Amino acid sequence: MLSARGISKSFGGVHALQAANFACERGEIHALLGANGAGKSTLVKILSGVQRPDAGTIAIAGETVDFAGPTDAVAHGVATVFQELSLFPHRTVAENIFIGHEPTGFLGQISQSRLRAAVGDLFASLGVDHIRPNALVADLSLSDRQLVEIFKALSRKPRLLILDEGTSALGRKEVQRLFALLRKLRAGGTSVIFISHRMSEIREFVDRMTVFRNGHHVATVAANAASDAEIVEMMLGQRVERSFPTKTVVSEAEAPLLEVAGLAAGSDLKGVSLTVRRGEVLGIAGLEGQGQGTLLLTLFGAYRRAAGTVRIDGAPARIGTPWQAKARGIALIPEDRKTEGLVLPMSVRENITFSVLARLGRFGFVSPAKERRFVESMMQRLAVKAASMGLPARSLSGGNQQKLVLAKWLETGADVFLFYDPTRGIDVGTKQAFYELIAGLTREGKGVVLYSTETSELIGLCQRVAVMDDGRIAETLEGDAITEENILAASLRMGRARPDEAVVVEAAQ
């Protein structure tokens, strides 16, 4: 179905791809693996007509092609779900899915009835019944926006479907439904290029996998022909065993850094109480949609709390906006780094210094020399890989973008760090770096609240794990009790009574 030979592409002296080869058979699900910056997304953009290669040839079903733009790729049956979502937030779900090829009726006008019927058929194919076709995309969660992006690609009925981290924002149930649909497409001859950092998905789902490293093709093997350790070694060029730093010892006698009592917001948060001490990582777990994200966003002032109190270092904290949260020493590494954590068109330098501009000059003017020294030190501290601090943030790999989000907070004086699934969509090497960064924060006496969809991270990093159910904390696990079995059991309320529905909360101050 696809043959890409000798593909090269450079950006300002940085070689993203160097004579790389890739091939995908008809009716095959083929994984493309590599560390952040290996060249995967560049290859995807070339195959999708977004960028043109500096050298090399591409053939689709035996026909040599030279895409002048994305429209050419679509005309040849290539549909792509990009890592960066490309939706119109203030148009409806149905309009986004069929944009550019809307079903028409009399006099060529868009037929709303045919549009709704077509969207209904697509939703039925994946068993989705919770997204309204006439809902605005801006009102959807990140996972639902991800589903809309996938439906938009499937609406083209492609013969080659490319999923670039297309499952990173989806829950387990949605992933399984998507896999079932893609297997049907595979049986009909559709080919799928699948990019994911979740090795469990690779093992379960794909036929073959190709590994890239530093813009080069390293190997193509059957999905079951290499161990996880061997794959990581191919990706990084060295053997890396996944491990977690030693946890900081936290005294129970120490006064809490963060105290939350009866916190409620909207319909998702129904009275949460918790404490975090200096040097502690408090994990937040539970099945998806139990209020974990609302908890972090309410603590950061992005959501208005309906009830409850927050105290920092024993003093009441009035937090109604992110500005107030920042002033009280709270930092948020958000769920969606691209839309909530960074301004992608702006430079690496500008994104790093947003939160500390007042410190980098006098009388409202920024000192270029101070700013440059600050950015260089932060890039070195976090090992941010970028050819220049003047490059736009969108040009960096996902892992390096996530480092930028953290970099802008480290020198703000924050004591409480809220991490919202921080390692989603980044490779194993960068994950290891993030684990060390979190451990470093605790050694400095910071407090960390970590929500992660990877149970192993909660087990490896946290001194305590609060498991949420229906907007409340169902159970808190400590020490040796933090196991995958116990987290799952608490999430499902197995053998436990449901918490009393009558929760007494204090009025919001």
Per-residue model confidence as pLDDT tens digits over 45-92: 999 999 999 999 999 999 999 999 999 999 999 999 887 778 888 998
> Is position 27 within any domain?
yes
Q: Clarify whether residues 67 and 108 are in a common domain.
A: yes
* pTM of this structure: 0.65
Q: How far apart are CA 431 and CA 424, in angstroms?
A: 9
Pick from 370, 392, 413: which residue ends a domain? 413
pLDDT at site 494: 57
Whether residue 500 is predicted with pLDDT greater than 50 in this model: the reply is no
Residue found by looking up tokens 């589903």 in the block: 147
Q: How far apart are CA 438 and CA 436, in angstroms?
A: 5
> Is position 437 within any domain?
no
Sign, Cα dihedral of 405, 407, 408, 414: positive
Q: Clarify whether residues 308 and 350 are in a common domain.
A: no
Q: Clarify whether residues 373 and 312 are in a common domain.
A: no
Pick from 209, 236, 263: which residue ends a domain? 236
Per-residue model confidence as pLDDT tens digits over 211-247: 998 889 999 999 888 887 788 788 877 665 557 888 8
> Is position 348 within any domain?
yes
- Residue range of the domain that includes 397: 336-413
> Is position 429 within any domain?
no
Domain count across the chain = 3
CATH number of the CATH domain containing 53: 3.40.50.300
Q: Clarify whether residues 353 and 463 are in a common domain.
A: no
Per-residue model confidence as pLDDT tens digits over 398-426: 788 889 998 889 888 899 999 998 887 77
**How does the average pLDDT of the chain come out, rounded?**
86
> Is position 441 within any domain?
no
Residue of 232, 206, 207 whose CA lies nearest to 218: 232
Whether residue 105 is predicted with pLDDT greater than 60 in this model: the reply is yes
Pick from 236, 261, 276: which residue ends a domain? 236
> Is position 177 within any domain?
yes
Identity of the residue numbered 221: V
> Is position 295 within any domain?
yes
Q: Clarify whether residues 133 and 100 are in a common domain.
A: yes
Q: Clarify whether residues 403 and 380 are in a common domain.
A: yes
Per-residue model confidence as pLDDT tens digits over 311-366: 999 999 989 999 999 999 999 999 888 888 888 889 999 989 988 888 887 877 88
Q: Clarify whether residues 375 and 266 are in a common domain.
A: no
> Is position 301 within any domain?
yes
Q: Clarify whether residues 109 and 41 are in a common domain.
A: yes
Q: Clarify whether residues 316 and 212 are in a common domain.
A: no
Q: Clarify whether residues 179 and 281 are in a common domain.
A: no
Q: How far apart are CA 393 and CA 389, in angstroms?
A: 9
Per-residue model confidence as pLDDT tens digits over 247-303: 888 888 889 999 999 999 988 899 999 999 999 999 999 877 789 999 999 999 999
Structure tokens of 399?
A: 């892992």
Q: Clarify whether residues 256 and 356 are in a common domain.
A: no
- ∠345-350-356 over CA atoms, to 5°? 145
- What average pLDDT does range 195-210 have in this prediction? 84
Q: Clarify whether residues 180 and 324 are in a common domain.
A: no
